[in-house]
Structure 1
Amino acid sequence: MALASSTAARKIPLADWSRPAAAFAVNGVLYGSLLTRYPEIADRVGASESEFGAALFAAAIGGLLGSLVAPALTRVARESGATLVAGAGYALLAVTVVGAPDLFLLAAALLLANLFDGAHDVTMNAAAVKVQQVAGSPLMGRMHATWSLSLTGAGLLGAAAVGLGIPVLVHLGVVAAVVLAVQFAATTWRPRAGVAAGPPPMPTPRRPDVPAQRGRAVRLRHVLPVLAVAALAASYVESPGQEWTGLLLSRGLDAAPKLAAVAPVLFAAGLVLSRLVLDPAQRRWGARAVAAGSGVTMVLAVLAGFAVTLAEGPAGAALVAIAAAGIGAGPVFPLLFGAGDQLSARHGIPAARTASMVSALSRVGAISAPVVVGPLTEAFGMAMVFAVMAAGALLVLLALPRAVR
């Protein structure tokens, strides 16, 4: 990756990096706040487990649609304006989710809220890529770590709000008001006159001639498929790592409920840890080496977990494997979204279009992974959770270094 070896890297001004950082924080806070209130929301509309699952499926479809329409929104309002519109829509519709009086309206509110969430996901990543291009310095690791930390903090505050008996409408109303103010302030803030603004924008490349266009098309036919494979495969690591590892410990290794509950937390902690060190790692070793290390770490970790589960080994060993898998998985999506930098600079593809592709495929993976994991674990045992993650990790190892080189 060119950013890693560039000698022209500049310090990113606060006014530049704070805009995408605020958007990542807003998105993580809204998602984390809603997660803590899902049980109460389901009880409010009298939804059974299958009915609430159908409502969440509508949310997933909304997120997928939002990630697909985001490039059009970006063309109309640019990255900063599109991020503000999508973030504001997500915040306002999050309040309608917790206020929905029946299951049908809940599903509709979740679909619309996640439509804006999907658009926000794409636009904030595209905005971060723009800042990264101008600065010539890796940024995506810090942005995705901001999202993960914001989600965790919002989850802890949400759990406290539930414990204190704060009404759900009050909780989400306050959260929505705060994040709206943060998103608006970060988008509209400009440095004072006389304060050095950010570095000058990168020059627009000349329009290539016809042979260059043909060469670019040939290269894209090789780059885009591996980018797509890596994005889809990564979801088959992250989704089971967060949603199925607790069940794996409790049913596959007979772990105590408290120990099983630690599994998704450790996986998420691994994500945060590796994302915090991703940017300096890219500057030192380059994106391709980091991508290869990420894939190798995931493959070895989930294969170790698979062996432990088959042998009915100690739950502690499985927890170590789960944490290591999270560390390996952490860099994948920041690297994939950051690949929009290279595709934009070398092939003229808008960053929002690449981000839309990555976001849409990751959501397809998140939707389909439970459908794959559930029947396999029922037929062959809980070790299949690690088996599915291993297949996804192997595909990431094969595709990710090629996608980001």
Structure 2
Amino acid sequence: MTKTYQAQIVRRAVAAMFFMAGLCFSSWASRIATIQEKLSISEGQFGAVLFAMPVGLMLSLPVSGWGVSRFGSRKVVSVALAAYGISLIGLGFMPNMYLLALNIMVFGFCSNAVNVSVNAQAVATELLYRKPIMASFHGVWSLAGFIGGGIGTFMIGQQVPPFIHFILISIVTVGSVFICWRYLNDDKGSGEKKQSAFTKPDSALITLGLIAFCSMVVEGTMFDWTTIYFKKVVNAADAYAGLGFTAGMCMMATGRFVADGFSARFGLKRTLQLSGVLSLSGLAIAIAFPYLVPAIIGFMLIGAGISSVVPLVYSVAGRSTTMAPGPAIAAVSTISFLGFLIGPPIIGFLAEAFSLRVSFLFVALMALLVIVFTTRAKV
């Protein structure tokens, strides 16, 4: 077996892990409005429930870092992704908001473990290819989000209960892990484990983390609140409530597949600045014109805007001269993923205090900060 062929097999296996991670999360995101309505949870209460996700993330941080350092990312991503799929099932069964919050905390724990370990796999795979391919992996994650959103829209239209939907996704996820785990990068003993996965990052990495943090607030809001926004602000019929999410995920996936080439041609800073401009423009359209067609266009621009930020930031972090690739990715991804998780609950609280439409002004501010931080960063 040639090295090129072996690298291709590894890349496909890692891409499959990204795909299943995206499918799990988008399956949950596509049924949030259904679950909220089923349990009769208000926006404010739902915002409190969603805070269980960052709690799970924080609990996962030391465990994930220690696990990747001690056992290697292959074992961690295999176990964490299987658990991620299984924990998805409970989200469709929970009979009240308290048990839902507990299950979301477990879901968040697994999600962060997958996030840290699968990006470590991506960094190791980039070394095999000796060229940037991080964005393509995140493109696969977004493609899974698009497909998961489409499946969710179909399930809603057919009135399939969330727990049946989630059982099917769980079976596919666990089966994929069983098939692919042996082909992943075996990075145990690579020497990187001697460095802590959470060594204090330098100012450059912190700035990268802040750029990704702001973009991930936008991304997390799109995942958790788009369907609800279309139902309650746009007043879309149930059959069309998932179109904004699906359109955004489609553009997000497309943008990630072209991000590496675009960045190589026009530069990282211009690419990140354009990303912020697209997100800000899309939010402005969706807020100013809360009607079906303009809102769909707005969320398409948002999806295009957030598409390249995180993978490009992770790729730059992986080339840090002050930290090894794995710990650098873990540090930046931890900062950014917090934005992904705490943004949606904040939207819930703002929506309760003002309105859901007004709360999206906070998301627009985050898009603006992507432009500001990128302009001031040395990238």
Q: Same fold (TM over 0.5)?
A: yes
AA paired with 2:119?
N
Q: SS at 2:127's partner residue?
A: helix
Q: Structure 2 matches for 1:245-264, cutoff 5 A?
A: 257-258=236-237, 262-264=243-245
Over the aligned positions, Cα root-mean-square deviation in angstroms equals 4.0
Give 1 or 2 for the bigger CA radius of gyration: 1
When normalised by structure 1's length, the TM-score is 0.73
AA paired with 1:347?
T
Number of residue pairs aligned between Structure 1 and Structure 2: 364
Partner of 1:332: 309
AA paired with 2:333?
V
Check 1:318–1:102 CA distance in 2 against 1; reply closer, same or farther (3 A cut): closer
Q: Write the distance in 1 (CA, Å) between the matches of 2:222 and 2:101.
A: 26
Check 1:383–1:73 CA distance in 2 against 1; reply closer, same or farther (3 A cut): same
Q: Write the distance in 2 (CA, Å) between the matches of 1:376 and 1:48.
A: 13
* Contact 1:339/1:404, CA 8 A, preserved across alignment: no
Q: Structure 2 matches for 1:6-405, cutoff 5 A?
A: 13-38=7-32, 48-49=41-42, 53-67=47-61, 69-100=63-94, 103-161=97-155, 169-189=163-183, 221-242=202-223, 257-258=236-237, 262-299=243-280, 301-302=282-283, 305=285, 309=288, 316=293, 319-343=296-320, 346-364=321-339, 366-368=341-343, 370-371=345-346, 375=350, 382=357, 385=360, 387-400=361-374, 405=379
Check 1:227–1:183 CA distance in 2 against 1; reply closer, same or farther (3 A cut): same
Q: 1:99 deviation in Å?
A: 4.0
Partner of 2:195: none
* Contact 2:223/2:245, CA 8 A, preserved across alignment: yes
* Contact 2:217/2:366, CA 8 A, preserved across alignment: yes
Q: SS at 2:324's partner residue?
A: coil
Q: Write the distance in 1 (CA, Å) between the matches of 2:175 and 2:347.
A: 41
Q: SS at 2:92's partner residue?
A: helix
Check 1:360–1:116 CA distance in 2 against 1; reply closer, same or farther (3 A cut): farther
Q: Write the distance in 1 (CA, Å) between the matches of 2:245 and 2:37.
A: 24
After superposition, the C-alpha distances for 1:119-145 in whole angstroms (9 at most, x for unaligned) are 101111121112113312222222112
Q: SS at 1:137's partner residue?
A: coil
* Contact 1:271/1:326, CA 8 A, preserved across alignment: yes
* Contact 1:33/1:154, CA 8 A, preserved across alignment: yes
After superposition, the C-alpha distances for 1:92-148 in whole angstroms (9 at most, x for unaligned) are 222344344655443322211220111101111121112113312222222112112
Q: Write the distance in 2 (CA, Å) between the matches of 1:263 and 1:353.
A: 34
* Contact 2:319/2:325, CA 8 A, preserved across alignment: no
* Contact 1:298/1:328, CA 8 A, preserved across alignment: yes
* Contact 1:377/1:383, CA 8 A, preserved across alignment: no
* Residues 228-237 or 359-368, more deviating: 359-368
Q: 1:251 deviation in Å?
A: 7.5
* Residues 107-116 or 96-105, more deviating: 96-105
Percent identity of the aligned residues? 21
Q: SS at 1:347's partner residue?
A: coil
When normalised by structure 2's length, the TM-score is 0.77
Q: Write the distance in 2 (CA, Å) between the matches of 1:380 and 1:16.
A: 47
Q: 1:31 deviation in Å?
A: 2.0
Check 1:188–1:363 CA distance in 2 against 1; reply closer, same or farther (3 A cut): same
Check 1:238–1:16 CA distance in 2 against 1; reply closer, same or farther (3 A cut): same
Check 1:301–1:101 CA distance in 2 against 1; reply closer, same or farther (3 A cut): closer
* Contact 1:340/1:355, CA 8 A, preserved across alignment: no
* Contact 1:67/1:121, CA 8 A, preserved across alignment: no
Q: Write the distance in 2 (CA, Å) between the matches of 1:265 and 1:41.
A: 18
Q: 1:236 deviation in Å?
A: 3.6
* Contact 1:67/1:356, CA 8 A, preserved across alignment: no
Q: Write the distance in 1 (CA, Å) between the matches of 2:61 and 2:330.
A: 8
Q: 1:369 deviation in Å?
A: 5.4
* Contact 1:21/1:143, CA 8 A, preserved across alignment: yes
